[in-house]
Amino acid sequence: MNGASRLDDLKAYIRAQGWLWQPGKPIAYGEQIIVLAGSDTASVSFYPKNGKLIIGGAKSLMKDRLDAWVAGEIEPSEEVPEGEPEPAEAMLPGSRLDELKCFIQQQGWRCQPGVTIAHGEQIIVISGGQTARVNFWTRRGKLEVQAADSLLKTALQAWISGGVAPDDAAAALAGPHIGMDESGKGDWFGPLVVAAVYADIPVMGRLRRLGVRDSKELDTTTILRLAAEIERTVPPEARHVWAIAPEQYNELYARHNNINLLLAEAYAQVARQVSDATQAPAIVCDQFAQNADRSERTFAAANLPRPVQRHRAESASVAVAAASILASAAFTEMMETLGREAGLDGSLPKGASDIEALEAAARQVIAQGGAAALGRYAKLNFKPVKALLGGTAPVAGTTVTSSVRNGTPVTVPAAAWEAQFQPNGFWRYTFANGGYLDWWPDSAKGTIYVHGKPEAESVRILKPKTDGKTWHGAREKLDQSVERYIPRLTQRQVPGVLGIGWQRRGTVFGARFDFTDGRLLNYYRCKDQLKDKLLIQGTSSDLARAALEALPNPYWGGLDRLTDVLKRLFPDWRLGDAMGPNERGTGMAAWFRILGS
C-alpha cells in the first residue's frame, strides 16, 4: 500500500462510518485532516514520504477506532461496506434532490430513504449523531429540511437557500471560524455590545463541554459564570468585546442614521481585531438585517471574509453562542455600573417594554444632570426617549464646563490574577500583588511552585498550602482552588471627576492620554499583556491625580477597556476635543485659553 492510497483508504473508512472530515492546518512535509463525529473531533496528520499516519485529539470512541484502523486492528473488509456509493463526481445531477445527494456525499454524510410522502420523496441525512429529514416535492421542485437545530440542519438549509455557496457554508460552520453576536440593540438604556470569538475544532469541543449555548436560554448568573469560563478557555487574542457606551453610540448613530449600518461597521471592526490575530478562514454571525449586502460590503471594505449570516446562528455555531454570552455579560456589567453612576439604586432598566420603569429612570437622570446627561446613559434614537427630551435629541459632547469637581464614583473591575500557559510547558498564575504560582501538568509529579515577593499576600497565603503538594487534576479545578483563597476579580471604587477632558492618541509603545488639566497618562503595551504599564506624568488637579492613581497598575484589561474606564471616570472627556496639537499636555494655562476663546 503506497502513502497516497493509505490516506485515501482512511478517508473511505471515515465516510463509511458516517463521519465528516475536512482539511486541517498546513503541516510540513504532509497533510492534515480534521475528523468530526457529533461532538467528537480528532486530527489526522499524514506524511506521504513514509506513509505515516498520526492521530491526535482528546480520547473518544472515534479516536480509539481511528487508532485501531491505523494499527491494522480493523480488517479492510470492515472498512467499506458493500454498496459504498460511487464518488460524488460520478453522479449526474438530475433533479434538485439528485444535486442535494451529490452535496451530501461530498460532505461525507450518509443518506437513506425516509417514509413515503404524498407527491414526493423523503430522505434521511445522517452525520455522526445528527440527523435531518429532507422532503422533496417533485412537481414544484421544493426541498424542506425538518430537524432540531444543528450544524447539519444549518448546512442543508444553506445549500437549499443558495444564499451562500453550499460548500462555503458547510465548511464555515463545521470548521474553525469566528462567531459573532451582539447585545443591547433593542434596549433604551446602556451600551451596544458586539463580541467575536474564534474557535478551532478542539476549542469548539471544550466550549460544548462547558455548556455554552445561546445566551437567551440562560439566566444572568449562568451567563456571568460561563463568560468567565470562556475567557479562561479562549486566548485573549482569539476574542474581542466592544462595549459601545451610550454616548459613543449616539455619535455613531448620528453619523449613520441607521442601526443596521452602525451594526455592520461595529461587526467589521470587532471581526478585524480577531481576524488579524488568528487568520480565521471564516466568519459566522447572527443575521441582524434583512439586507445582507450591507454587512458583506462593510466586511469586504475591511478585507475580511464574506460573513455567513444566519438567523439564530448561536444555535448552529458554538463560537457564535460563546460570543453571545460574552456580549450579554459585558452588557449586564455595564448596565450595573452605569446605573450606579446615574444615581439609581441599581442597574439601569433593561429592554424597551416596561415603559413606566424606563420613563421613571430617564426622568431621574434628567432631574439630576439635565437633558444632556441622558445621552450618557440612553440611546437617543428611540422615539420615546426623544419624546422625553421634547422631540429633539441633544448632540453628544456639547456640554462645556470649566470647574473641576467630584463626580459619581465608578466601579472598576481589577483582576487579582491570571493564568497563562508558558512556552516551557507549564502554567503560570501571575498575581497582581507580585506573586507567582507555577504548575507543571505534564511532569510525573505535577509539581506546584509558589514564589515572588515574600510580602505579597498571594505568596504568604499559597506557599504554606502548596509546599510539598502536587496536582494531577484539571486546570479548571486548580483555578477554583486558587480562587478559594485569592478571588480572581476585585472591585475598586474610583472617584469620578467632572470638568476635565482628554484626547487619546497612539504611540510606538501603546497610547497616551492628554488631559485638559495638564496631566499625561502613558499606556505601555507589552508582549505579555499581564505586564502592560501605566505611567502618570505632568501637573494636574488633585482630583484627577487621585482618580488615575487608583487605577490598577500593571493594567491587565487592555487599551480598549482602559479607554472605556477613562470615559466613565471623566464623563466630560469630550472637552478634550477642543485641544489642538500644540496644546496637548501643556497644562492649565492652555486649557484656560481654550475656555476663553
* pLDDT per position as a tens digit, 61-99: 888 888 888 887 765 434 444 333 333 333 333 467 877
291 and 142 in a common domain: no
* CATH number (domain holding residue 12): 3.30.160
Contacts of 235 (CB under 8 A, 6+ apart): none
Q: For the chain, how many structural domains are there in total?
A: 5
Q: Is residue 382 part of a domain?
A: no
Last residue within a domain, chosen from 57, 79, 101: 79
Share of the chain above pLDDT 70, in %: 83
In this structure, of 212-216, 323-327, 421-425, 568-572, the range with the lowest mean pLDDT score is: 421-425
Q: Is residue 564 part of a domain?
A: yes
Round to whole Å and give the CA distance between 215 and 541: 44
In this predicted structure, what is the pLDDT of residue 163? 41
299 and 203 in a common domain: yes
Half-sphere exposure of 382 (CA within 13 A, CB side): 24
327 and 196 in a common domain: yes
Contact indicator for 129, 38 with CB cutoff of 8 Å = yes
In this predicted structure, what is the pLDDT of residue 172? 67
- What one-letter code names the amino acid at 27? I
If you average pLDDT over residues 491-502, what whole number do you get? 81
In this predicted structure, what is the pLDDT of residue 571? 84
Look up residue 412 and give its DSSP letter.
Answer: E
- Cell numbers describing residue 568: 466613565
In this predicted structure, what is the pLDDT of residue 227? 93
Q: Is residue 376 part of a domain?
A: no
Which spans in 44-94 are helix H? 61-70, 76-79
Q: Is residue 409 part of a domain?
A: no
Round to whole Å and give the CA distance between 565 and 188: 21
In this predicted structure, what is the pLDDT of residue 293? 67
256 and 306 in a common domain: yes
574 and 502 in a common domain: yes
Judged against a pLDDT cut of 60, whether residue 586 lies above it is answered with no
* CATH number (domain holding residue 240): 3.30.420.10
266 and 329 in a common domain: yes
For the chain, the residue count is: 597
pLDDT band for 402, please (50, 70, 90 cuts).
very low
Last residue within a domain, chosen from 79, 106, 127: 79
Strands in 299-343 per DSSP E: 308-310
In this predicted structure, what is the pLDDT of residue 592? 36
In this predicted structure, what is the pLDDT of residue 233? 92
Domain range for 25? 3-79
Nearest to 202 by CA among 50, 35, 80: 35
- What one-letter code names the amino acid at 37? A
| Among 26-40, 206-220, 513-527, the range of highest mean pLDDT | 206-220
Judged against a pLDDT cut of 70, whether residue 22 lies above it is answered with yes
568 and 536 in a common domain: yes
Round to whole Å and give the CA distance between 134 and 112: 11
Buried b (16+ CB within 10 A) or exposed e, 249-282: bbbbbeeeeebebbbbbbbbbbbbbbbeebebbb
Q: Is residue 200 part of a domain?
A: yes
In this structure, of 195-204, 386-395, 502-511, the range with the lowest mean pLDDT score is: 386-395
Q: What torsion do the CA atoms of 110, 116, 118, 119 make, to the nearest 10 degrees?
A: 50
Half-sphere exposure of 571 (CA within 13 A, CB side): 24
Q: Give backbone dihedrals phi and psi of 416, rounded to 5 degrees, phi first.
A: -85, -30
Contacts of 275 (CB under 8 A, 6+ apart): 178, 283, 304, 305
329 and 202 in a common domain: yes
- What one-letter code names the amino acid at 70? V
Nearest to 429 by CA among 443, 413, 450: 450
- What one-letter code names the amino acid at 33? I
Q: How far is CA 351 from CA 223, 250, 332, in A?
A: 17, 17, 12
Judged against a pLDDT cut of 50, whether residue 206 lies above it is answered with yes
If you average pLDDT over residues 192-205, what whole number do you get? 91
Count of C-beta atoms within a 10 Å radius of residue 1: 9
144 and 15 in a common domain: no
Q: List, for residues 257-271, the tens digit of each pLDDT value.
A: 888 888 988 999 899
Look up residue 348 and give its DSSP letter.
Answer: P
Helix or strand or coil: residue 304?
Answer: coil
Judged against a pLDDT cut of 60, whether residue 449 lies above it is answered with yes
In this predicted structure, what is the pLDDT of residue 391? 53
Look up residue 350 and give its DSSP letter.
Answer: P
Q: Is residue 368 part of a domain?
A: no
Last residue within a domain, chosen from 334, 364, 393: 334
Q: How far is CA 12 from CA 20, 36, 72, 77, 407, in A?
A: 11, 14, 15, 12, 69
Contact indicator for 503, 586 with CB cutoff of 8 Å = no
In this predicted structure, what is the pLDDT of residue 128? 65
Identify the H or E element spanning 502.
strand 502-507
192 and 161 in a common domain: no
Judged against a pLDDT cut of 60, whether residue 165 lies above it is answered with no
In this predicted structure, what is the pLDDT of residue 403? 65
239 and 254 in a common domain: yes
Judged against a pLDDT cut of 90, whether residue 328 lies above it is answered with yes
pLDDT band for 582, please (50, 70, 90 cuts).
very low
Q: Looking at the DSSP assignment, which residues form a beta bridge with residue 137?
A: 120, 142
269 and 129 in a common domain: no
Q: Is residue 303 part of a domain?
A: yes
| Among 279-283, 309-313, 526-530, the range of highest mean pLDDT | 279-283
Q: Is residue 374 part of a domain?
A: no
Count of C-beta atoms within a 10 Å radius of residue 473: 10
